[in-house]
Structures are given as structure tokens and as C-alpha cells.
Structure 1
Amino acid sequence: MSEAMADYNSRAAYERLREEAAFEPDPVHTGEPARQTQIIAIYGKGGIGKSFTLANLSYMLAQTGKKVLLIGCDPKSDTTSLLFGGRACPTIIQTASTKKEAGEEVAIGDVCFKRDGVFAMELGGPEVGRGCGGRGIIHGFETLEKLGFHDWDFDYVLLDFLGDVVCGGFGLPIARDMCQKVVVVGSNDLQSLYVANNVCSAVQYFRKLGGNVGVAGMVVNKDDGTGEAAAFARAVGIPVLAAVPQHEDIRRKSANYQIIGHPTGRWGPLFEELATNLCGAPPVLPEPLSQDDLIGLFDTEQTGGDVVLEPATPEDMCPAAALDRASLEVIYDTV
């Protein structure tokens, strides 16, 4: 092939890519989910209260007659601990490894357990320094598929994902359209909203690649009334599904592995509202914020947002005397 022809083909391919990139993605589907089962992925910063929120939400959904499956996708494997009174579930990854060594197959009863109508399991993860957490998530879902995940009959499947980690395994539900909706859990602090903003960015990115996942909304946990999380939700264009107050009774009961999302309990109406809002919330396409806009939600006295970037100079990087070293370059006189 001649150089001219190769150049022509290259330019033609470039123009085709530009034309494809110019097309806007289709609007996010806002009608009833096509599938009977709603699969919802919940993301948030580690320690923000995803597991607390999901345990109580899943319990409330089950108490209203829904068939619910809760899957912990956090390597800490703490999603189901509150649901089961602090007891740890055998994880799918650990069980699969043990069964493989014994030449046996994993059965549903080995990894899935239930309480008051809620079915729950943990994917698990590798030991510290001995593997990739994201790869563990992918392996866990491969095992679920072998167990018949796509044929299971549930009203809701809730997936608990760590939002701090942005590798492929943790982005699986968004990247592969494994869920219809995403929920972000945050609080009135910069770090949790930074994670929530990253999740919104991931949803937007995969929408541009042809994905269909949208964000149903945000749960504000440990709400102290300062309003930054609600301001974030408004700015990116997603609703607040519920705000769980920062209250000593909630903190104490959660620490003691007590379910508070019970219809007859003090906090029952709160989780009933969350369940209702979540079930009816359409998946929307968020508009993530820039770093400056995110910091702008907070008082500069809290974030240091009034700091000005001052460029460094060569003199800052090494002593000035070192900059005046004599040159070793040989210069010849011209004739």
C-alpha cells in the first residue's frame, strides 16, 4: 500500500470516529424496568453506612411482601453482618476455593442464607496483599451465574459495592448493564461526596459508550442538617431518596447489630419512605461536578478552598548557586 493511500485511509477512519463521537447518547429509559426483577447497585465511600442502609432497607422491603436478595460485593464482607446479628456468612470466593480443593461443586445452601424473608450472601475478597479485589468480584459473579443467577425469581436484588475503588471489577454492574439503577450513599462531608461524584462520572461515561444504567438517587446518611449532600444531589440532578439523621439511638443500635428498619419500630417510617422512593425512582443521567464545583459546596473555612495555587520556580527546586554552574560547552570562534 502506498504512503498516500495509507494516509487517506487513516484520515477516513479518523473522520468516521469523529462522526460517531458527535452522536449524543439516547435518553435514559425512565419507564417501568423491562425486567421483572429490579437489580439495584448501591455505591458509597467505605464506612459511610452502605451496609447499614442496605440491611435495613432489604428488611423493610421483605416486611412489605417483596422477595429480596442482598449481595455483599465489598471485600470486607460486612454487608450481611447487621442482618444476621453480627454473624459472618461464608463467602462465595472462600467457599468456592474450599470446594474446589475437595473436588466438589458449590451449592446454594453453602453461600446463601435467609432471615425473615431476606436472602443474603457475600462475594468476599482475597486476603490483604494476596490478590485483586476487583478480580475477586468478577470471579464471584461468574460463580453466581453458574448457580443460576439469571434465572432466580426475586422482586429486588440489591448489590453493595465499595465506591472508593474505581477498577473494573467494582464498576461491573454499570459497565455491563448488570443493574437498572444505581444509588449513592453519602453524607455532609467532602470525601463521601467525592466518591458519589465519581460514581456519577462512571454512569455518565458508560452511558456514552451505549450503556443503559442511570442513578435513582442518593441516600444521605448521618445527616447533621448542614445540607451539603442535598446541595450535591441538586447540582448533579438526582433526588434525595431519604435522609437518615445523625442520632445516638441509630448509632447505638447499629453498633449492636440491631435492625431498625422494622414497620413497627421508631425508625420504620424512615425506611418505609426509602423503600417507596427507591422502588419508584426512575434511573436518571447525572451531571457530575468538577473538583472546584464540588469543593464549592462547602464553606472555604472547612475545606481550605480559598487557597491559591502558586507556581514553583527552578530556584525553589534547588539552590540558586547550583543554577549558575559554569557550562562545559565548547564554543568555537567563527571565521
Structure 2
Amino acid sequence: MQIHLAPMEGVVNARMRALLTAVGGIDRCITEFVRVTDQLLPPKVFYRLCPELLCGGTTPSGVPVYLQLLGSEPGPLADNAGRAAELGAPGIDLNFGCPAKCVNRHRGGSILLDEPELIYRIVSTIRSTVPKQTPLSVKIRLGYRDRSRFLEVVSAVADAGAQLLTVHARTREDGYTPPAHWHEIAPARRQFSLPIVANGEIWQPTDADQCRVDSGCEDIMLGRGLLSRPDLALHIKTREAGNTYRERTWPEIYPLLYELFLDSLETCAPRHVGGPSKQWLGYLRRNYPEAQQLFEQIKRLRTPEDLQAALLQHQQAA
């Protein structure tokens, strides 16, 4: 069983990948998308979104990080995929699932799910450009407005030569409204030999169990669930192995949050230092009452000094 960390734009960057993979249970990460239009991008763009390229293409824990591309032009996408491979990306991932309106307006992400022929051209062009030893994966949703072309899209991805497909089990129209329709993945799983990873609404180990039953997929991708419970992947893997797992308590999780804050002190402008910590607390408070309390304490704090004082005070109280 493989568990992948979802490429959540504006949330799962390199420092978050490092923190979450350090907990354990994650087998693969994917970067936030590199937006490709009509030109070959300079290496600095790839290094900014995937600094792991400077360290063998893995997180500090040794988990490989695939570089994700988003666009609609086969030629430029292939050129940039080739560059990513040259820079040492362990794999290339293509984003045909992003539901953001600003992305879709510019013919990127999930809007292409209505054009399986174009998806085929993109994937096949990249596959013929990138070295054979570089894996190529694709991420999609069940459809754009509806599911009517889902199997056509899967067929296009498989026929074009991708090695792996991840399916977020909702349409773009569904957004992130529960539930995720895991059972809708099952027909593709039965019809195609292409390995498929199921994604969407996996918040706890029992969700992972049901997702695998309904979808027929062995492997899963975690996003918001892992941000809410950083040990979720480890918990799922431990249960899968038939062992008992003790859930991490807040005093064991909090050091990760404080480490994120310290990183922000070094890498963010002073007015933005608190942003990443508050953002992560927004997810953590789903599972930890202490995170909700801390969020209420710091949500209006602005200066790095005030934020650090509050975080240290919370640490001492915990």
C-alpha cells in the first residue's frame, strides 16, 4: 500500500512536505503546480517550488517529490517536463484536476476534463520527450461539470503512456463538498490496468478502509486529512500491518507547528510570519481542541515578537 501527499496549492510547500514526511507513512509527495504557458521556464522557477531538487529530489526524510506541471499546450509542457527531468525530478505529475476558477479560465486544471483528446496529446507528447526512466503520473477529478467523460479521460491517460493516475473522487462542480464518490472510481479500476490512486475525504483510518473498498484502489492520497492529523498516514500504515497504533497527542504534534513558525521567521517578511502557522492551525483544530484554543489566542497577533511569545507560552502550558 502506498500513501501519497496531495499537492495542495498555497499549503503544502517544501517546508510542509518536510514536516509531514518526518512523521512517517508517506511514500510520495507532489509539488504545487508549475504554471506553463508558451515558453520554457528558467531553472529558478523549478527550484523555487521544488527546492528538494537540490537534495536529490527527496524530502529530508528521503521521500521522493514529483514535480507537477499545469497547462494546456503539449509542446511547452513537454519542454518543461524535460527540463524538470534534467534538474533531477524523481517524477513528473500533470495537473488536470485543479478546480480554481482563475486556473480554469486560462485553460488549466479541471476544465481540460471535457477534452480527453487534448489530454491524450499532452500526456503522449510529454511521455515521448521525458526519459523513459522518469515516471509520469496524472491527477484528475471525476469530471468538470459531470462524470460523463470520466472513462474517456482515463482511457486517454492510459493510452498516452502515463504510469499512474490519481483520481479526486468529485467533479469540479462538486468542489470540496462531501461526500467523495469513491465508488465512481471503481469502473475505471476494473476496466484499465493503469494503477489508480484514490483521493478525497479521507480524514481517519476508517475512511481509508472504506475508500479502498468502494474504489477498488490499493493506494490512496491524503490532503486535508493529513494536515488535520499529521500522523494519519502512519496510523493507516500501522493498522494495515496488523499492529496497534497509539495516536499522537497535542504535546507531540505541537513541536511541528513551532518548527514551522521558526522556519517562517527565517523565510517570510515580518508581516507574513504568522500566516503559515495560523493556516495550519485552521486544519489542526479539527482534531485537537488545544489547536483551537491556540488559534483563538494568536489569530489577531501580527508581529513576530508577539506571535513567538504566545507560542512559547502555549508550549510551557502544555
TM-score normalized by the length of structure 2? 0.35
Structure number with higher relative contact order (C-alpha < 8 Å, ≥ 6 residues apart): 1
Higher share of residues assigned helix: 2
TM-score normalized by the length of structure 1? 0.34
